[in-house]
Each structure stands twice: as C-alpha cells, then as structure tokens.
C-alpha cells in the first residue's frame, strides 16, 4: 500500500509540475505518463500498454527502440556525436551517397538537417536564391512546418494571430476526390479544370516572381488526401511554364511508408528538390534536402547559406544509415504494401458495418478514415472523431484525428512498418468496438 501511495503521489506531482511549468504548444497533452516504448507499443506509468497507430509523431517507422537503432546510438555516441558544422565525418558522407542511390537522376546532392520545418526552410531558401524570385505556391490544406517560410506555406492550421507571413505565398485548392469542388457532369472531380483555374488565379495575383511550388504527395495533416494519378505531372507542367521549381515534401511519405521508397514514384514525376524528415531518423531528429548538381551549383555560386548548429551531425547521420540498412534488409517497402493492403481491407470491412465511416483512403501504411453523417451536420463528425480517439485510448489504441473546417474528422493511421498482422488486427478490433460503443450512445 505504501508503494502504491508513493506512486500515486509521484504521479500527482508530475501533473502538478506539468501544468505549472510546461508551455502549451497547440495540442492537448495525452492524459497518460509514458514510461517507455518498444516495438508497436508505448507503456504507461500505471502499467498499461497502448498500441501506437501514429508511429510517435508519424516518425518511428521501425517501431520504438528498434534493436539496430539502439545499438547504433550507443556505439556512435561513445565515439563521435557532434562536430563543428564545417567538419565532415564518414556517417554523413555515407548517408548522402546512399540517399542519392535510392533516388532517380538528377537528385544526388544532399544537405542533412534536423526537422521537417528546417528542411523545407532550406529548400525554399535555395529555390528563392537560384530563381531570383520569392513567390511560393502550396496546397490550401498543407502542413510544412512552423518556421517562418515553412509556416507561411502551411495552410491547414496556425495562420491567425501571428501577423503577416512571408510575402508572396499563395494557396491552391486540394484535389480531393471524396469532396470534389469542381466536377465533371457525372459529379466526379475535374482536377484538371481545378488546377487550370487555380493557376489562372495565381497568375492574376503574382507580381511576376513565382519561385517554387511546395507540396506533399499525400496531404497527411490535411486529412490523408492523395491527388489523382496525373495531377503531379500536370502540376509540374504548370511549374515549368512559369520557371518555377517543384519541391516535394515527403516528411511522412518517404522511405517506404506508402509501399514504395518514395510516394512520388507512383506518378513518375521527379521533383527539383525533395525534402525528407520524420521517417529518415525513424524517430530521431534527422532531415534532408536533396536536389540536382545543377541547382546546387547555382545556389553555391550565389552564396547559399544554411549554416546551422546541427547540420551534418554524425550521430543522427549514423542512425539514418542504420534506418536504410533495416529498410533494405527487411524489404520494408514490400512489407508496407502487404501490411497496408491487410489494414485497408480491415478498414473497408469496418466501413461496411459502420455508417459513421464516410471514406477510407490512403496508400501503404498511411491511411485515412473520414467520419461522416447523413444529415449534413458538419460539426457532428468532429465530435464523433474526438469521442472515438478518446475511447480508443482508454481501450489501448493511440489514434490521431485531423479536424479541419468543412472536412469533418479524419483518423490518420500510420503504424510502424514493422507492425505485425496480429497488431494491426488488434487495432482494428479496438476501433470496431469503439465505433460500436460511441455511435450507440451518440
């Protein structure tokens, strides 16, 4: 009893200290104290285990505390952790070479950084320098980060109350097949006309300084929306016609998450600049900007500067090499396809039984489940989504809900690529039970 009381007191002190000392940053803290994590589960202070269907912050593609990552960090930090930013080490050069080897020509020049926002910041800075222009086009439900240029190209959240963003940022509509805004006669999305109209408006607003288009191949924070096949080829043509660079942000889709090494492979469109983050470090802070030798040379000639504290750090570069080792040896691109098909089939079966599910979409192990109602109440899916995620957590499943105006609530499901079919089945069972309970009491 004394130990239990001590533990209870310690937990109460934890929450007291959290409320008193932590600056809140935009998301409600999960009402659990997490003690450790392993594989597909996180473990709480009160002994519960919670199945992690978000891979941490959509990053831990190898699960938590993967033995190869643990061994790499222990070995590397004992020998070479951090350097002056102008010094080079073998892990950095090895990772740059190996990343280039996973990509089509001409993507062979690599800058290693820390976060997705930082990589997008560097990519936009480079694009502006090499084009001599400053205007940036992004999707209206995008998320590219919280630093200045990245936040200015982010439209899904966080724009109000902070004063003006970077000048020259424009949004174009998302080609959302489930919620088409411009349609053919049969009611399906007419994405080509939508894109044409979008760039008519861009041209009307531009001061003649269009530099780049920064987009996600699949909008994750925007509700797991995948533009139709053909869209990115058409978008690239729009960029080429205007002398713009195409930047693809594969923070969440890169490195096998969607069943291929990179999501852009589906469309056969090679970006001018590619940004990677989240999945590259498998949960550790590692990001990359990858571009062509031609663009890199032009940037260098014009004095490109992105000299940061942790650029080319050897510790996380070694982790990145280990991530590539595991992806290759365990053929996790193939596993993500197979596990993704398994999970998608299970979600489709849930949709057939639960009218509250309006759409299931996504690719590989990045899937979205959108809630809907038949009565047109756009607030109801938001309320349902919040109740579903809360009950799932109580039952041992961590889910993430995207709630954007006019889009209802969309579960964003991204378990580790190493998740077993048994773990995916467990997640489906908890979601099934949750939907049954929550809709019965709605």
Q: What integer is the mean pLDDT of 33-58?
A: 97
Q: Report pLDDT digits (tens) over 7-22.
A: 789 999 999 999 999 9
**For residue 391, what pLDDT is reported?**
96
Q: Where are the domains of the chain?
A: 21-52+331-440, 69-329
CA dist 312 and 88 (Å) reads 7
Q: Is 345 a catalytic residue?
A: no
d(CA 342, CA 384) in angstroms, rounded, equals: 25
Which residue, among 322, 317, 318, 291, has the nearest Cα to 304 in the 3D structure?
Answer: 291
On the question of pLDDT at 33 being above 50, the answer is yes
* Residue with tokens 């061994």, as numbered in its chain: 71
Beta bridge partners of 42: 37, 50
- Across the range 38-43, mean pLDDT stands at 98
Which of 109, 128, 242, 278 is labelled catalytic?
Answer: 278
Q: Which residue has the higher pLDDT, 440 or 242?
A: 242
Q: What is the mean pLDDT of residues 240-251?
A: 98
pLDDT at 370: 93
List the beta bridge partners of residue 112.
288
- Give pLDDT, residue 382: 67
Q: What is the pLDDT of residue 1?
A: 41
* pLDDT tens digits along 268-303: 999 999 999 999 999 999 999 999 999 999 999 999
Among 118, 121, 249, 296, the active-site one is: 249
Instruction: Verify whether residue 278 is a known catalytic residue.
Output: yes
**Mean pLDDT, the chain, integer:** 95
pLDDT band for position 183 (cuts 50, 70, 90): very high
Which long-range contacts (C-beta less than 8 Å, at least 24 apart) are formed by 75-81? 75/318, 76/314, 76/315, 76/318, 76/319, 77/315, 80/314, 80/315, 81/313, 81/314, 81/315
pLDDT value at residue 377? 46
Residue 441: the pLDDT is 80
pLDDT > 80? residue 3: no
Model pLDDT for residues 186-223, shown as the tens digit of each residue: 999 999 999 999 999 999 999 999 999 999 999 999 99
Percentage, residues of the chain above pLDDT 70: 95
Q: pLDDT-derived band of residue 160, with 50, 70 and 90 as boundaries?
A: very high
- Mean pLDDT of the 132-137 span: 98
* Range of lowest pLDDT (30-39, 145-154, 383-392): 383-392
Q: The CATH number of 21-52+331-440 is which of 3.40.50.1370, 3.40.50.150, 3.90.1150.10, 2.130.10.30?
A: 3.90.1150.10
Would the pLDDT of 239 be above 70? yes
Chain centroid to Cα 187, Å, comes to 30
Q: What is the pLDDT of residue 407?
A: 58
What is the distance between the alpha carbons of residues 270 and 263, in angstroms, rounded to a whole number?
A: 11
Q: What is the reported pLDDT for 378?
A: 44
Query: Which residues touch 109 (CB under 8 Å, ≥6 apart)?
Result: 100, 290, 291, 292, 293, 295, 296
Instruction: Identify whether 249 is a catalytic site residue.
Output: yes
Q: List, in order, residues 6 or more apart from 320 with CB less than 8 Å away.
A: 91, 95, 99, 112, 280, 281, 286, 288
Active site residue 143: yes
Q: Which pLDDT does position 402 carry in this prediction?
A: 86
Instruction: Return the pLDDT at 384.
Output: 87
Question: Six-digit token pair at 337?
Answer: 């396809």
Q: Residue 361 gets which letter from DSSP? A: E
Given 121, 216, 226, 272, which residue is catalytic? 216
Mean pLDDT, range 352-381, rounded to an integer: 82
Q: How confident is the model at residue 150 (pLDDT cuts 50, 70, 90)?
A: very high
Q: Which candidate in 135, 194, 250, 252 is catalytic? A: 252
216 catalytic residue (yes or no)? yes
Evaluate if residue 2 carries a pLDDT over 60: no
Catalytic residue among 143, 333, 382, 391: 143
Closest by CA to 217, choosing from 135, 133, 299, 276, is 276
Q: What is the pLDDT of residue 5?
A: 59
pLDDT tens by residue, 371-415: 986 554 444 666 788 899 999 999 999 999 987 765 568 999 999
The answer to whether the CB of 138 falls within 8 A of the CB of 144 is yes
Q: Is 261 labeled as catalytic in the residue annotation?
A: no
Percent of the chain with pLDDT over 90: 91
pLDDT of residue 254 exceeding 70, the answer is: yes
The model's confidence at residue 27, banded by pLDDT at 50, 70 and 90, is: confident
Q: Which residue has the higher pLDDT, 342 or 27?
A: 342
Q: Exposure of 322 by Cβ count < 10 A (0-12 exposed, 13-18 middle, 19+ buried)?
A: buried
Q: Check: CATH 3.40.50.300 for 69-329? A: no
pLDDT per residue as tens digits for the range 97-130: 999 999 999 999 999 999 999 999 999 999 999 9
């Amino acid at each position: 009893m004394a130990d239990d009381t001590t533990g209870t007191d310690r937990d109460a002190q934890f929450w007291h200290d959290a409320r008193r000392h932590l600056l809140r940053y935009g998301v409600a803290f999960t009402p659990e104290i997490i003690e450790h994590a392993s594989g597909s589960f996180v473990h709480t202070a009160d002994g519960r285990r919670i199945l992690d269907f978000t891979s941490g912050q959509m990053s831990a593609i190898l699960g938590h505390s993967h033995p190869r990552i643990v061994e790499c960090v222990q070995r590397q930090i004992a020998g070479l952790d951090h350097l002056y930013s102008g010094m080079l080490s073998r892990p950095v050069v090895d990772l740059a070479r190996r990343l280039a080897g996973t990509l089509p020509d001409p993507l062979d020049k690599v800058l290693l950084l820390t976060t997705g926002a930082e990589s997008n910041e560097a990519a936009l800075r480079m694009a502006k320098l090499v084009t001599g222009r400053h205007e940036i086009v992004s999707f209206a439900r995008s998320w590219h980060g919280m630093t200045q240029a990245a936040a200015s190209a982010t439209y899904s959240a966080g724009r109000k109350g902070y004063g003006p963003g970077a000048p020259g940022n424009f949004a174009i509509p998302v080609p959302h097949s489930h919620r088409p805004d411009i349609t053919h006669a049969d009611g399906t999305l007419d994405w080509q006309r939508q894109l044409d109209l979008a760039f008519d408006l861009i041209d009307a607003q531009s001061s003649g300084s269009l530099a780049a288009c920064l987009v996600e191949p699949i909008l994750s924070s925007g509700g797991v929306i995948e533009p139709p096949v053909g869209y990115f080829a058409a978008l690239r043509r729009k960029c080429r016609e205007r002398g713009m660079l195409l930047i693809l942000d594969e923070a969440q889709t890169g490195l096998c998450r969607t069943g291929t090494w990179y999501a852009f492979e589906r469309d056969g469109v090679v970006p001018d600049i590619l940004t990677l983050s989240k999945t590259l470090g498998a949960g550790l802070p590692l990001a990359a900007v990858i571009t062509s030798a031609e663009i890199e040379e032009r940037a260098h000639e014009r004095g490109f500067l992105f000299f940061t504290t942790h650029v080319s750090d050897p510790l996380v570069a070694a982790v990145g090499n280990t991530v590539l080792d595991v992806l290759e040896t365990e053929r996790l691109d193939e596993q993500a396809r197979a596990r993704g098909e398994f999970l998608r089939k299970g979600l489709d079966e849930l949709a057939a039984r639960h009218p509250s599910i309006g759409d299931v979409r996504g690719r590989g192990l990045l899937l979205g489940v959108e809630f809907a109602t038949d009565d047109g109440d756009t607030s109801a899916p938001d309320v349902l989504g919040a109740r579903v995620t809360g009950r799932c957590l109580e039952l041992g499943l961590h889910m993430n809900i995207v709630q954007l105006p006019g889009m209802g609530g969309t579960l964003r499901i991204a378990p580790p690529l190493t998740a077993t079919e048994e773990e995916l089945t467990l997640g489906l069972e908890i979601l099934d039970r949750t939907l049954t309970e929550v809709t019965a009491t709605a």
